[in-house]
């Protein structure tokens, strides 16, 4: 229904025998650290360790790895200045800004709705608990 027959290949997961490319891209963008890195870089450009501090809990390895994936996909621009000590600035490309905009929308919505989600969880948990005690009687 609706207006979205164009997402068929994404949902199908295959594009004539091989893995659907758009699903791969979507997984990069929605990956655990990809989301947070895109949001951080949509604020401003960051140096490597700045970014590591900004995105709480990310390991050095995952930061490197995710940045490389995002750079390869054309979302992130890596500017390595040939100085000592090394200095590398990361920023979003035009493509990255477009993606980050959507991701931020989702993140902002999530942030706004956390309370509603936690209420739903409480209802779910008590409902399950009551069902459990009832069946054990």
Which of 79, 42, 49, 77 is CA-nearest to residue 63? 49
Task: Please pick, from the candidates 12, 26, 68, 118, the single residue that binds DNA as defined by CB under 7 A.
Answer: 68
At its nearest, how many Å lie between DNA and the CB of residue 60?
A: 5
Q: Which of 63, 67, 92, 99 binds a second copy (CB under 8 A)?
A: 99
Q: Are 70 and 92 in contact (CB under 8 A)?
A: no
Q: Using CB under 8 A as the criterion, what x/- string covers residues 59-78 for binding a second copy? A: ------------xxxx----
Using the rule CB under 7 A, give the single segment among 15-23, 79-87, 102-110, 118-126 that binds DNA.
79-87
Phi, psi torsion values for 109, nearest 5 degrees: -60, -45
Does 123 engage in binding with DNA (CB under 7 A)?
A: no
């Amino acid at each position: 229904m609706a207006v979205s027959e164009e997402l068929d290949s994404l949902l199908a997961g295959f594009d004539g025998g091989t893995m659907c490319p758009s699903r791969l891209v979507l997984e990069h963008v929605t990956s655990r650290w990809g989301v947070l890195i895109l949001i951080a870089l949509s604020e401003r450009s960051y140096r490597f360790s700045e970014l590591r501090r900004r995105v709480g809990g990310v390991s050095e390895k995952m930061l490197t790895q995710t940045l490389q994936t995002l750079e390869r996909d054309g979302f992130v621009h890596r500017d390595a200045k040939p100085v000592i000590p090394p200095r590398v600035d990361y920023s979003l490309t035009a493509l990255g800004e477009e993606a980050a905009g959507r991701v931020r929308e989702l993140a902002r919505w999530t942030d706004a709705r956390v309370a509603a989600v936690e209420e739903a969880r409480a209802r779910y948990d008590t409902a399950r608990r009551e069902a459990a005690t009832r069946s054990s009687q």
